[in-house]
């Protein structure tokens, strides 16, 4: 992977080359192998390269063709570039390199935005046409690769990470976007491309935008939509086809001119990737598993079992949580935002280890959203029952008499709007009023004016004709996957110059999985039923029957122990600035210190937020 930066001035104002070069250099961690930046008329383009395919200097970027008319900066991998190269050669194109960058450049020249529908890969890019005076930008179908935008006064700035935009536009007013803020307090992230920086957003997945000289706004479009349903085969057919498509997806992502490894957790998805990669990888496949001194449990034994089954060169990495303060602080800088999913910590620490000469790893993200891996899918198979039971909460006094966790869970099923119900299943918070009460009165009132569940209502509304499990799967595919998991994977890995590929999100496999009925995925109370059946006889039976697990990051215990003082200091800083009510935070901390878990996730989110406010000096 790489880092990209672009600055486009539709007013034809002269661009300072040093501005482009310095902003690009803030992304050097994403591409430590080579960096360059150019200014061509009224556009500046910069690129930092992590060399994966065609390691020669001829594949460096910014990449120009046709005597400098077209220039491309691109972050990602096009897995079907060899096929596209053959198509372009049939049109008369003569290539000078063996890289996918050149294929993408000529594809955009010959096919325009129609090229996007041909791409099977993960990408974000900016493509400058000097003669037409247009800058085309686009992002992959599911948002694996990031692309942030800031536009003001006829000037567009875009980059792989926010830090490059902030460096390029020092005059940018650092103010909070309150809708994004309200979403963060609920879910630990902002949704739908919003960021907590007012004016900075992400280009949506599967989207493109074309800026032209003299225009104040771009032409935009969407080149792909999930198309649920339509599968006409039997369950047996689906089992066989799942196996074949997954193997093909893994095989397609073993391309490159550098060694490739697998992050092997011992779970179903990474075990399947290891099984198929070991069949097709030229040479001995290297796998990496990790144990953390702060984790309650370890999957090393399951991972070792898989590694032995497929005869990989297996590495067990022991990672310490020593120096947590520095790690937590560094991750806020990696994201340039507060980020509530503490699972970014173990992934970041793993990628920071010495993985020999490995630059590329395969990881199992996407399997849960495509094949039904979360408990909520199983719950939603009985949604009518839960909605009926939830009505008891309307009886005065009942809600307070029930255990808090049960009461909160049943409350998820009370709203009439499906998107509202889905959103409540994804948040641990019980009310906006409780969250807003921690902040100063002015901030609290503004929070109460926001609609943090709006994105869920929007996406779930698109799938109103589908059953609840299918609608939840697709909603997760459009919200949780890009806004939480792919965001986490990109920042934690690219901060350390590691490219993570996600075979389960390969185009053909995604299209196939989306077409399947939900009853194939969650059956008889078994999550990922179809995927388990398709992998029977391929991965060890112990993997097929194991319960879903995770790293179990003990952030709650950390807030009572090694991070307690740091958190209190940051909360006090926010209170001194008039953002927080110190008494309300103290009450939460005291309750948490006594052993209550009620406020744990909210305090963790507030901690991330406080670090971010301190580092980035954002105004409320």
545-562 confidence digits (pLDDT tens): 988 766 678 899 999 999
Q: Is 393 part of any domain?
A: no
Q: Does position 591 have pLDDT exceeding 70, yes or no?
A: yes
What's the order of all strands across the beta sheet hosting 34-40? 34-40, 43-49, 2-9, 155-159, 148-152, 200-202
Half-sphere exposure of 567 (CA within 13 A, CB side): 27
Could you read off the pLDDT of 284-329 as tens digits, one per residue? 999 998 887 766 666 788 999 999 999 999 998 877 767 889 999 9
Q: How large is the average pLDDT for residues 385-407?
A: 83
Q: What is the pLDDT of residue 507?
A: 98
Q: How large is the average pLDDT for residues 215-221?
A: 87
CA 539 to chain centroid: 27
Query: Was 169 annotated as part of a binding site?
Result: no
Q: What is the pLDDT of residue 32?
A: 93
Angle between helices 487-494 and 344-352 (to 10 degrees): 30
Active site residues per annotation = 2
User: Which of 292, 299, 281, 345 minimizes the C-alpha distance to 317?
Assistant: 292
Q: Give the span between the Cα atoms of 355 and 352, in whole angstroms.
A: 8
Percent of the chain predicted with pLDDT > 90: 82
Q: Are 113 and 223 in contact (CB under 8 A)?
A: yes
Q: What is the number of helices (H) and of strands (E) in the chain?
A: 30, 17
Q: Does position 457 have pLDDT exceeding 90, yes or no?
A: yes
Q: What is the pLDDT of residue 402?
A: 80
Q: Give the span between the Cα atoms of 18 and 391, in whole angstroms.
A: 63
Beta bridge partners of 13: none
Pair of tokens at residue 379: 């719950």
Pair of tokens at residue 198: 């007012």
Pairing of strands 148-152, 155-159: antiparallel
Three-state DSSP at 543 gives helix
User: Which of 509, 488, 496 minimizes the C-alpha distance to 144?
Assistant: 488
What is the 3-state secondary structure of 233-280? CCHHHHHHHHHHHHHHHHHHCCCCCCCEEEECCCCHHHHHHHHHHHHH
Q: How many domains does the chain have?
A: 1
Q: How large is the average pLDDT for residues 416-436?
A: 90
User: Which of 489, 543, 146, 500 minimizes the C-alpha distance to 355?
Assistant: 500
User: What range defines the domain where residue 70 resides?
Assistant: 2-222
138 or 554: which leads in pLDDT? 138
User: Which of 136, 185, 92 minimizes the C-alpha distance to 443?
Assistant: 185
Q: What is the CATH number for 10?
A: 3.60.20.10
Q: How large is the average pLDDT for residues 517-540?
A: 96
Q: What is the pLDDT of residue 549?
A: 67
For residue 217, name the pLDDT band (cuts at 50, 70, 90). confident
For residue 238, name the pLDDT band (cuts at 50, 70, 90). very high
Q: Is 237 part of any domain?
A: no
Q: Is 192 part of any domain?
A: yes
Using CA of residue 39, residue 41, residue 42, residue 45, what is the dihedral sign?
negative
Q: Is 182 part of any domain?
A: yes
Q: What is the pLDDT of residue 468?
A: 97
Q: Give the span between the Cα atoms of 219 and 217, in whole angstroms.
A: 7
Q: Report the predicted TM-score, pTM, of the whole model to 2 decimal places.
A: 0.95
Q: How far is CA 11 from CA 14, 43, 70, 211, 215, in A?
A: 9, 11, 20, 12, 8
Q: Are 320 and 347 in contact (CB under 8 A)?
A: no
Q: What is the pLDDT of residue 394?
A: 82
Q: Does position 144 have pLDDT exceeding 80, yes or no?
A: yes
Radius of gyration of the chain (CA): 24
Q: Is 330 part of any domain?
A: no
Beta strands in 79-154 (DSSP E): 121-129, 134-139, 148-152
Report the chain's mean pLDDT, rounded to a whole number: 93
Half-sphere exposure of 115 (CA within 13 A, CB side): 27
Q: Are 619 and 358 in contact (CB under 8 A)?
A: no
Q: Is 178 part of any domain?
A: yes
Least confident piece of the model among 50-64, 92-106, 170-184: 50-64
Query: Was 66 annotated as part of a binding site?
Result: no
Q: What is the pLDDT of residue 295?
A: 61
Q: Give the span between the Cα atoms of 391 and 459, in whole angstroms.
A: 26
Q: Is 370 part of any domain?
A: no
Q: Is 6 part of any domain?
A: yes
């Amino acid at each position: 992977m790489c880092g990209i930066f672009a600055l486009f001035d539709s007013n034809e104002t002269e661009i300072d080359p040093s501005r482009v070069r310095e902003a690009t250099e803030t992304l050097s961690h994403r591409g430590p192998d080579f960096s360059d930046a150019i200014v061509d008329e009224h556009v500046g383009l910069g690129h930092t390269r992590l060399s994966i395919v065609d390691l020669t200097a001829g594949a460096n970027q910014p990449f120009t063709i046709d005597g400098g008319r077209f220039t491309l900066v691109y972050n990602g991998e096009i897995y079907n570039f060899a096929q596209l190269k053959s198509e372009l050669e049939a049109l008369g194109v003569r290539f000078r390199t063996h890289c996918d960058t050149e294929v993408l450049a000529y594809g955009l020249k010959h096919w325009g935005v129609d090229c996007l529908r041909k791409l099977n890969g993960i990408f974000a890019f900016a493509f400058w046409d000097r003669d037409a005076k247009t800058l085309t930008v686009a992002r992959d179908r599911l948002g694996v690769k990031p692309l942030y935008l800031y536009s003001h006064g006829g000037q567009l700035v875009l980059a792989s990470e926010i830090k490059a935009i902030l460096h390029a536009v020092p005059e940018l007013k650092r103010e909070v976007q309150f809708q994004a803020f309200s979403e963060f307090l609920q879910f630990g992230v902002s949704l739908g491309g919003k960021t907590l920086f007012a004016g900075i957003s992400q280009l949506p997945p599967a989207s493109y935008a074309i800026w032209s000289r003299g225009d104040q706004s771009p032409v935009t479009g969407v080149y792909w939509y999930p198309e649920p349903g339509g599968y006409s085969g039997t369950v047996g057919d689906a089992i066989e086809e799942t196996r074949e498509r997954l193997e093909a997806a893994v095989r397609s992502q073993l391309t490159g001119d550098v060694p490739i490894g697998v992050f092997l957790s011992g779970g179903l998805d990474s075990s399947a990737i290891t099984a198929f990669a070991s069949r097709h990888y030229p040479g001995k496949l290297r796998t990496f598993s990790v144990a953390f001194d702060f984790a309650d449990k370890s999957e090393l034994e399951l991972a070792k079992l898989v590694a032995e089954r497929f005869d990989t060169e297996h590495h067990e990495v022991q990672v310490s949580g020593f120096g947590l303060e520095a790690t937590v602080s560094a991750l806020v800088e990696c994201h340039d935002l507060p980020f509530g999913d503490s699972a970014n910590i173990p992934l970041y620490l793993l990628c920071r280890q010495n993985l020999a000469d490995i630059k590329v790893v395969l990881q199992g993200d996407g399997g849960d959203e495509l094949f039904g891996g979360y408990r909520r899918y199983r719950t939603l198979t009985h949604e009518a029952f839960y909605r009926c039971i939830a009505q008891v909460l309307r009886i005065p006094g009942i809600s307070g008499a029930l255990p808090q966790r049960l009461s909160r869970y049943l409350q998820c099923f009370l709203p009439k709007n499906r998107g509202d119900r889905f959103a409540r299943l994804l948040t641990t918070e019980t009310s906006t009023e409780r969250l807003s009460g921690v902040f100063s009165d002015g901030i609290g009132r503004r929070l109460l004016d926001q609609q943090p569940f709006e994105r869920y209502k929007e996406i779930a509304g698109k799938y109103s004709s589908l059953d609840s499990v299918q609608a939840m799967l697709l909603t997760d595919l459009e919200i949780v996957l890009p806004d939480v998991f792919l965001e986490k994977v990109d920042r934690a890995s690219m901060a350390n110059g590691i490219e993570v590929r996600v075979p389960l999100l390969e185009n053909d496999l995604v299209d196939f999985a989306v077409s399947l009925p939900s009853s194939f995925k969650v059956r008889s109370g078994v999550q990922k039923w179809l995927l388990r059946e398709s992998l029977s006889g391929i991965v060890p039976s112990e993997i097929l029957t194991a319960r879903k697990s995770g790293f179990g990051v003990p952030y709650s215990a950390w807030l009572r122990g090694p991070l307690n003082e740091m958190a209190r200091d940051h909360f006090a800083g926010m209170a001194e600035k008039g953002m927080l009510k110190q008494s309300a935070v103290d009450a939460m901390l005291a309750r948490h210190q006594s052993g209550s878990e009620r406020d744990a996730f909210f305090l963790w989110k507030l901690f991330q937020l406080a670090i971010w406010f301190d580092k980035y000096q954002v105004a409320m």
